[in-house]
Structure 1
Amino acid sequence: MSQPEHGQQPYPGSQPGWGGQPQWGGQPGWPAGQGGGQFWQGQPTPGWPGNPVYGQPLYVAPPKPGIIPLRPLQFGEILDGSFQTIRRNAASMFGSALIVQAIAAALLGIVTVAMLQVAESLETVETTAEFDEFLGPFIAIVAGALGVSLLVGFLGAVLQGVMVVPVSRSVLNRRTGFKQMWKLAAGRIPALLGVAALLTFAGLLAVAAVVGIAVLLFTAMGPVALVIVFPLGLGGVVVFLWIGLKLMFAPAAIVVERLGVYDGLLRSWHLTKNNWWRIFGITLVVSLMVGIIAQIVQIPVSLAATAIGAVVTPHPDPETITSTMVVTTVISMVIGALVGSVTFAFQTSVSALIYMDLRMRRDGLDVEFMRLMETGADPEGIPGSQAPAQGNTWPPSAGHAPGTPPGSWPTA
């Protein structure tokens, strides 16, 4: 009996028949199984997943070094990754959001207290001259409230770009402190201020245009203009929402890819191509979630503050009522700032992970993350700043196994 030649190891399963040994450079001579395919005697019928046919690759799951697996993401993975990012980088994520929310709460508290005082003085208005005197401060307070809202939106756009830094680093399990986050994003602050100012001004201009057209129509046509104004306003909201989601990832692109204002807006527009409805669905669900959670937290606090005020001053006078309302407002603002900082950090993390997901689908950012994971390059930088060559998209084309660089298969 002859033995297999040196260097030729028999494959698992039952031994092949003598005389049918595979030769280098040719096809193996295993006996043919049912169905005409060639496989080893004693091996199970070829299938997936199971023992593969000779030469067929095994599936290897993509690695998950940090908060998400290095492949295009599902909705649940985006939510889980957002929670993990906040938990691992609490100081940078929660602390930064709390600063902005505290500023907003303080300004809104001042406006609210001023509104309470003006409303109290309205009870003493009896003549037209006194009403005219009341109207001036009232308009100023409304303008102040609008200005605070614009400021919060402006700071939120800037902070959205800054907070993408810990999210990107958490993908490779790199923690980011408060100081390190702002240091890494410091060079992109001017561009973030520019894009935030541009988006805020464009939004304000759009609202002013719609309101101006509505006023002109009502002035010229009277109540009949409602037939035109209502669909016009509805269409304006739809267009505003569509453009807003298309430009939603400009701050993230400016920070991670080191782009300018115009290039960042153009990059966001291209990334969202053919993905608008998916982004809209995720954003809507997350917004509803955080809105419900915020209401669940704030409603009991408001009720408790009202009950405490009723117990402390069961027979209040007007001055006591005003003081109680001020204290209640301050407490509500503090609780609102704490809840708002958590919800803002969560929404920002979701937005950043959607941005990562779009880049993994379009230009193979997962391959770049794998390279950084294997080499350990730039441990103190922002991962994802160097985009790989175009064409490494998901799902993989022929000859590309999931979780491996293009052109190679994982070994069994």
Structure 2
Amino acid sequence: MNDSPGWATPGSPSDGEGAEGTQPPARPAGDQKWSAEQPPPGQWSSPGTGASDTPATPPQRPQQGAGGRSYAQTGDSRGYGTPYGGQNGTGGAGGGWGTWGPPPAAKPGVIPLRPLGLGEILDGAVTTMRTHWRSVLSISLAVAVLVQVFSVLVQKYSGDRLTIEPGSQARMEDFSDTSALLTLAAYLLQLLGGLLVTAMLTMIFSRAVLGRPSTVGGAWRDARGQLLRLAGLTLLIGFGAVTVFVLLILPGVLAGNLGLGLLGGLAAAVLVTWLWIRISLASPALMLEKATIRTALARSSKLVNGSWWRIFGITALTALITALVSAIIVYPLLAVSVALFGGGLEGLADGTALNSWGSLILTAIGSVIALTITMPIQSGVTVLLYIDQRIRREALDLELARAAGLENYGADATAPPTGG
């Protein structure tokens, strides 16, 4: 198994075979470390209650076939439940660990190697930023500065052109043409910057899961081979979203029916949201599995299947958190810039409040700080969601443990976990 950031093996148990014709990692079959003779169900008790505290034989770990039993099949969203002890790990008819619960998972890096909860996903993203701050913040800061410098120049140039000759038809035409080109260039630069951040941070987060350090140069070397495919994936998703809106709104526009147009817009928003979540894991699948665009989209769809609402909730909450963080940073600086350099309320009224260099620069500083913090959080949550879904469906935790150097992890239920 390759222990590089591309450790992921394409394919899932339901696929028959992966994207490259390989079977996914399977949990070890027939682990016989425990005694085959087990006490009847329901005889486990909590520690500290007398002679029954120590069972005559330890509980038997569930056997699994070559395809591995996914956490999603156990009926427990955490992945414990039925395999390790009756209903949700409480003993009962299934026997097992009882009130002791399952053994702690190893944690070689920023997350434990088991199905993750919401808090663990968010904590993993923040912990990676804190632990590997040199690499993470260097990438996001460099991209944020580049994007904001260009945006400030575009806003200043466009604002000056609009203000200097407001009544000149020729000037307004020149402004419209030039502004459109500059705005398009600014959007393209933001797109390229976002692609670069996504690609490189995906590699850093994948190493952080294994407890390994990362450098900016190493992340670039790992990511550059997939950059063109990632760009193609991003453009395809964007083009698809625009196409859906056009096709569903166009009938109302052609018919001159406002209600029909609004209904089409609402339907387009719902459909695009559903598709967006469905393919939200395509980017990490493409980068970590070295997959093609088509394969990455198919992998994302299969990983999200059955977990759409959960992934939607985590994604929406992450977007809300990052929006609040951005607002807390940007809006106070925006208010200060308007008060100091934009003429206050008069500047807001005549539209010149943000045309001065002082206003633009101060606002851009706030945007740089906000982007430097929020871009890694968004990228990290997406990568950890991808890893979480593969742990639940494909027993990826065993592959990650081996890549992290944990020998015989999962083969010996009595082995103590490794802290990280």
Report the TM-score when normalising by structure 2: 0.70
Cα 1:45/1:110, change in 2 over 3 Å: same
Larger radius of gyration: 1
In the alignment, what sits opposite 1:298?
Answer: 330
Residue 281 (structure 2) pairs with residue 249 (structure 1): yes
Answer yes or no: is the 8 Å Cα contact 1:158–1:193 preserved in 2: no
2:324 maps to a residue whose letter is: I
Q: CA deviation at 1:87?
A: 1.2
**1:60-209 equivalent positions in 2, closer than 5 A:** 60-121=103-164, 123=166, 125=167, 130-131=168-169, 133-135=171-173, 137-138=175-176, 140-142=178-180, 144-209=182-247
1:405 is matched with which residue: 401, 410, 417?
Answer: 410
In the alignment, what sits opposite 2:372?
Answer: 341
In the alignment, what sits opposite 2:395?
Answer: 364
**1:226-375 equivalent positions in 2, closer than 5 A:** 226-309=258-341, 325-374=356-405
2:321 maps to a residue whose letter is: M
Answer yes or no: is the 8 Å Cα contact 2:341–2:358 preserved in 1: no
User: Structure 2: how far apart are the matches of 1:55 and 1:299?
Assistant: 59
User: Structure 2: how far apart are the matches of 1:36 and 1:329?
Assistant: 69
| Long gaps (5+) in structure 1 | 1-24, 377-402
Answer yes or no: is the 8 Å Cα contact 1:165–1:181 preserved in 2: yes
Give a deviation string over 1:88-145, Cα, whole Å, max 9, x none. 222222222222222321232122113322331354x1xxxx4465145235424643
Answer yes or no: is the 8 Å Cα contact 2:230–2:283 preserved in 1: yes
User: Structure 1: how far apart are the matches of 2:169 and 2:44?
Assistant: 95
Give a deviation string over 1:350-387, Cα, whole Å, max 9, x none. 111111101101111101112223458xxxxxxxxxxx
User: Structure 2: how far apart are the matches of 1:300 and 1:26?
Assistant: 66
Matched residues, number: 336
2:57 is matched with which residue: 54, 60, 64?
Answer: 54
User: Structure 2: how far apart are the matches of 1:178 and 1:26?
Assistant: 51
Cα 1:246/1:139, change in 2 over 3 Å: farther
User: Structure 1: how far apart are the matches of 2:340 and 2:119?
Assistant: 41
1:98 maps to a residue whose letter is: L
1:89 maps to a residue whose letter is: H
Answer yes or no: is the 8 Å Cα contact 2:354–2:360 preserved in 1: no
Q: CA deviation at 1:286?
A: 1.1
- Which deviates the most, 270-279 or 143-152? 143-152
Q: CA deviation at 1:77?
A: 0.5
User: Structure 1: how far apart are the matches of 2:389 and 2:232?
Assistant: 24
User: Structure 2: how far apart are the matches of 1:199 and 1:166?
Assistant: 24
- Which deviates the most, 132-141 or 228-237? 132-141
User: Structure 2: how far apart are the matches of 1:194 and 1:310?
Assistant: 41
Give a deviation string over 1:280-313, Cα, whole Å, max 9, x none. 11111111111111111112212222333379x9
| Long gaps (5+) in structure 2 | 1-34, 61-96
User: Structure 2: how far apart are the matches of 1:351 and 1:26?
Assistant: 42
User: Structure 1: how far apart are the matches of 2:202 and 2:382?
Assistant: 9
Answer yes or no: is the 8 Å Cα contact 1:246–1:276 preserved in 2: yes
User: Structure 2: how far apart are the matches of 1:37 and 1:168?
Assistant: 42
* Superposed CA RMSD: 3.7
Answer yes or no: is the 8 Å Cα contact 2:402–2:409 preserved in 1: no
Q: CA deviation at 1:325?
A: 2.0
User: Structure 2: how far apart are the matches of 1:104 and 1:181?
Assistant: 20
Answer yes or no: is the 8 Å Cα contact 1:298–1:335 preserved in 2: yes
- Which deviates the most, 366-375 or 286-295? 366-375
User: Structure 2: how far apart are the matches of 1:151 and 1:208?
Assistant: 25
1:331 maps to a residue whose letter is: L
User: Structure 2: how far apart are the matches of 1:323 and 1:55?
Assistant: 70
